[in-house]
Amino acid sequence: MVSKKYNVKGFDCANCALHAEDLLNKNKSIEKASINFLSGKLEISYKDKPFSIKELNQVINKISDDHLVVTEYVDDSPKKTKVFNKEVIFLISRIVLSTILLLVGVFAIKPFASTLFSWQWIIMILVYITAYLIISYDHFVKLFRNVIHFKNIVNESLLMLLASLGAFCIQEYPEAILVMILAQVGEVFEEISVNQSKNSIIDTIDTRPKTAIKLIGDKRETVLAKHLKIGDIIIIRVGDVITNDGEVVNGEGDIDVSSITGEFVPVHVSKNNELMSGSLLKTGSIEMKVTKTFEDSTTSKILAMAMESNDHKSKAETFIDKFARLYVPIIFGIALVTAVIPPLFICGINGTWTWDIWYQYIYSGLTLLVIGCPCAIVISVPLAYFMGIGLASKNGIIIKGSNYLDRINEISEVVMDKTGTLTTGEFSVTNEHFENIDKDTFEELLFIGENNSSHPIAKAIIKYINIQKPLKRPINFKEQGGLGVSYEHNNKEVLIGSVALLRSKNINVAEVSSNLTIMYVSYDNNYVGYVELEDTPKENSKSTIAYLSSHGIKTLMLTGGKATSAQYMSDYLGIKEYYADLLPEDKINYLKEEISHKSKNKAVAFVGDGINDSPSIILSDVGFAMGALGSEAAIQNADVVLMNDDPKSIVNSIKIAKITRNKSIFNIVFALVVKAAIMVLSFIPGVNLPMWVAVLSDTGLSMLLIINSILIILRKIK
């Protein structure tokens, strides 16, 4: 099976995209097709050989109501869209022209056209027909294409055409034109809102300028940021937003990283510190070496993930997909029954075929056709999830799919790694103890071994000892996950790690009683001492655990550290259950056990650093990676990336997921209730609900729900 991505343009509405997706999935050569209307992306998994671009364009244009253009997928930084593009301006022009002709017909000609087939009446009818064709010809084109390609013609275009043509047949000419005008107004607003929503996401995430000041020798030159190459030196002044990821080579200052992490506390940086694109220099002056191109920088990655997140549909969107496929044919059937059965029954009983009775029920049936357009629901629900993911990005949380927002809502348990997740992971040595060896040799053994490890504990030991003179390189160096390291020095084995590591080599060592982390050392099969390290809990770890517990979410801590340290940390944070002295495979086994015991429709989340904990992140229902966008493992494996490395982002993720779900449910329920109410009103004798009111209610409803969805991105997370 081969999967490919494409860019696709030309859809008039979300329901059109949904219809095309449904028909693509019925193609014998396609295993699965998914169309993202908001981002204009098509993803297809082929059963065998993929279509060429020419073949795919032929296939999709045979099944689609719209004229579509499919191109090879370009993985580039999303760009802002013109809100009023050519298509929107052309449609607005048609609306204006048709409206003018309608007003001329109603107010300038109709008062003088009381006699049928008089020249005034004929001019009025010609004006009405012209106005009608100007505003509705694209719907006729769609219908014609569907007929000649033997496609299902029961869609929203057919509903509107039947309603307006029916109004023409019963001599409600202005109403027929107004139905189509209001429907096209809805199309304009939908196109504008989708374009504006994309731009809102880009404006929220990407604050980078287009240019940067490049240092060439002693000269400064303003260049386009996208033309910067790795190794270029750029100057960052107070108030400048950093265009690319890089490293400080000269100067220092305070950096505002809130656009990336959601945290507004400035970070002080100096030489050799890394900088992320999108950050703002608050104080100081910096010369920075570019380490990533404009397209590969942090901001571009965040933006790409946010824009592509709707490729994975939520449960609400999946429901809407199924609902829309049934909804339009059902409405069509109800309208047909309404227009035909009651007048037949009434006229049959009365024995007279009165036009007034037929007119009343035909008009009600036509009104039902107008009400039946599903666009208000079809566009507002995906838009709500799109905005929810944008809100998360604004708060330093990258959620990689609408479906993960649903899964976050279902979390019943959060399993957490300790070091780097609940604690800072920045260890400091508080004590060293050595015996039967001198201090210098003891520290040299530690320095040589830990200098080859990237573990936070190793970094703390190196920082504490800080030997400047050249030392021998370790021989046969091995890093044993969850235990420690071993190597040879002067043909003698050195072990640095846990009690278990030393005892596995039959080295006699007494375990030190302490709540801190202990690293034991042996040399030539003899225990020679230990170092004691402290790891502090993160500022918001305790409040995060308290929030989860108060909302009925179980917390479990897994750590490779010793039991006394784990007990101390769990007691301090309020975690009731923990397991210590674990190897990576032990963590996976405990996680499997928790997943096997979860209730149906519930989710178990795992939170780790995104590198060492990648297997657990993959295994969990929702995998959170802490502050690890720079880690390819985190990007590939995590469902949610927490940019600010703060446990409170877990809580914020849950809050944002609830906001999004509640908006979606409101949009669905409110739309159905309004439509049902208008349908009921159209059946009540004597009400005579004008058809244009039904259209206005549908168009107005679409506008209201779209605005309701877009407002999500303005929410403040407390």
Per-residue pLDDT reduced to its tens digit, 6-36: 888 877 666 677 778 888 888 888 998 888 7
Domain boundary among 534, 561, 596: 534
Domain boundary among 534, 557, 585: 534
- Is 43 in the same domain as 118? no
Summarised one tens digit per residue, pLDDT across range 433-470 is 999 999 999 999 999 999 888 777 888 899 889 888 88
Q: Does residue 484 carry a pLDDT above 70?
A: yes
Asked if 494 contacts 521 with a C-beta cutoff of 8 angstroms, the reply is yes
Domain boundary among 267, 296, 325: 296
Supply the pLDDT for residue 579.
Answer: 92
What is the residue whose two structure tokens read 């999709």? 60
Q: Does residue 320 carry a pLDDT above 80?
A: no
Please name the residues in contact with 91: beta carbons below 8 A apart, sequence gap of 6 or more: 184, 187, 188, 191
Supply the pLDDT for residue 308.
Answer: 67
Q: Does residue 685 carry a pLDDT above 70?
A: no
| pLDDT > 70: percent of the chain | 92
Report the range of poorest mean pLDDT among 390-394, 490-494, 537-541, 693-697.
693-697
- Is 189 in the same domain as 319? yes
- Is residue 274 in a domain? yes
Supply the pLDDT for residue 652.
Answer: 95
Q: Angle between the 119-148 and 156-169 helix axes, to the nearest 10 degrees?
A: 150
Selecting among 256, 311, 417, 646, the annotated active-site residue is 417
Tokens representing 563 are: 């039991």
| Exposure b/e, 70-102, CB count within 10 A at least 16 = b | beeeeeebbeeeeeeeeebeebeebbeebbebb
The rounded mean pLDDT for the chain is 85
- Is 580 in the same domain as 611? yes
Residue 554: φ, ψ to 5°: -70, 145
* Dihedral sign of CA atoms 343, 349, 351, 357 in order: negative
Summarised one tens digit per residue, pLDDT across range 511-524 is 888 878 899 999 99
Supply the pLDDT for residue 59.
Answer: 85
- Is residue 651 in a domain? no
Report the range of poorest mean pLDDT among 22-31, 72-81, 694-703.
72-81
Residue type, 108: A
Query: Which 3 state secondary structure label does DSSP give 154?
Result: coil
Tokens representing 275 are: 């900088």
- Is 435 in the same domain as 519? yes
Residue-range definition of the domain harbouring residue 52: 2-72
Task: Name the more confident of 365 and 44.
Answer: 44
- Is 629 in the same domain as 693? no
Instruction: State mean pLDDT over 172-180.
Output: 85
CATH code for the domain in which residue 594 is found:
3.40.50.1000
Supply the pLDDT for residue 309.
Answer: 61
Query: Which 3 state secondary structure label does DSSP give 690?
Result: coil
Q: Does residue 718 carry a pLDDT above 80?
A: no
- Is residue 390 in a domain? no
- Is 482 in the same domain as 601? no
Burial of residue 36 (number of CB atoms within 10 Å: 0-12, 13-18, 19+): buried
- Is 695 in the same domain as 681? yes
CB atoms under 10 Å from CB of 297, counted, come to 25
- Dist. CA 624–CA 637, nearest whole Å: 9
Catalytic residue status for 417? yes
Q: Does residue 634 carry a pLDDT above 70?
A: no
Q: Does residue 264 carry a pLDDT above 70?
A: no
- Dist. CA 95–CA 82, nearest whole Å: 20
Tokens representing 52 are: 């060429």
- Is 104 in the same domain as 192? yes
Summarised one tens digit per residue, pLDDT across range 559-607 is 887 788 888 889 999 999 999 888 778 888 999 999 998 888 899 999 9
- Is 100 in the same domain as 191? yes
Supply the pLDDT for residue 459.
Answer: 86
Please name which of 470, 385, 360, 440 lies closest in space to residue 37, comparing C-alpha atoms: 385
- Is 627 in the same domain as 687? no
Supply the pLDDT for residue 46.
Answer: 92
- Is residue 79 in a domain? no
What is the residue whose two structure tokens read 């519930």? 602
- Is residue 629 in a domain? yes
Supply the pLDDT for residue 441.
Answer: 93
E-only strand ranges, 535-639: 554-558, 577-579, 603-608, 622-626
CATH code for the domain in which residue 440 is found:
3.40.1110.10
Supply the pLDDT for residue 651.
Answer: 96
Please name the residues in contact with 644: beta carbons below 8 A apart, sequence gap of 6 or more: 260, 261, 262, 263, 396, 627
Supply the pLDDT for residue 252.
Answer: 92
- Dist. CA 439–CA 445, nearest whole Å: 10
Q: Does residue 311 carry a pLDDT above 70?
A: no
Summarised one tens digit per residue, pLDDT across range 538-560 is 889 999 999 999 999 999 999 88
- Is 476 in the same domain as 444? yes
Summarised one tens digit per residue, pLDDT across range 383-395 is 888 889 889 888 8
Report in angstroms the alpha-carbon separations of 540 from 23, 254, 648, 657, 659: 49, 23, 6, 20, 22
Q: Does residue 531 carry a pLDDT above 90?
A: yes
How many domains does the structure of the chain reveal?
A: 5
Instruction: State mean pLDDT over 645-653.
Output: 92
Q: Give the chain's radius of gyration (CA, Å).
A: 33
Asked if 298 contacts 278 with a C-beta cutoff of 8 angstroms, the reply is yes
Q: Does residue 94 carry a pLDDT above 90?
A: yes
Summarised one tens digit per residue, pLDDT across range 177-234 is 988 888 788 778 777 877 777 777 777 777 788 899 999 988 999 999 989 999 999 9
- Is 193 in the same domain as 314? yes
Task: Name the more confident of 48 and 38.
Answer: 48
Task: Name the more confident of 600 and 275.
Answer: 275
- Is residue 304 in a domain? no
- Is residue 26 in a domain? yes
Q: Does residue 66 carry a pLDDT above 80?
A: no
- Is residue 634 in a domain? yes
CATH code for the domain in which residue 62 is found:
3.30.70.100
* Dihedral sign of CA atoms 37, 42, 45, 51 in order: positive
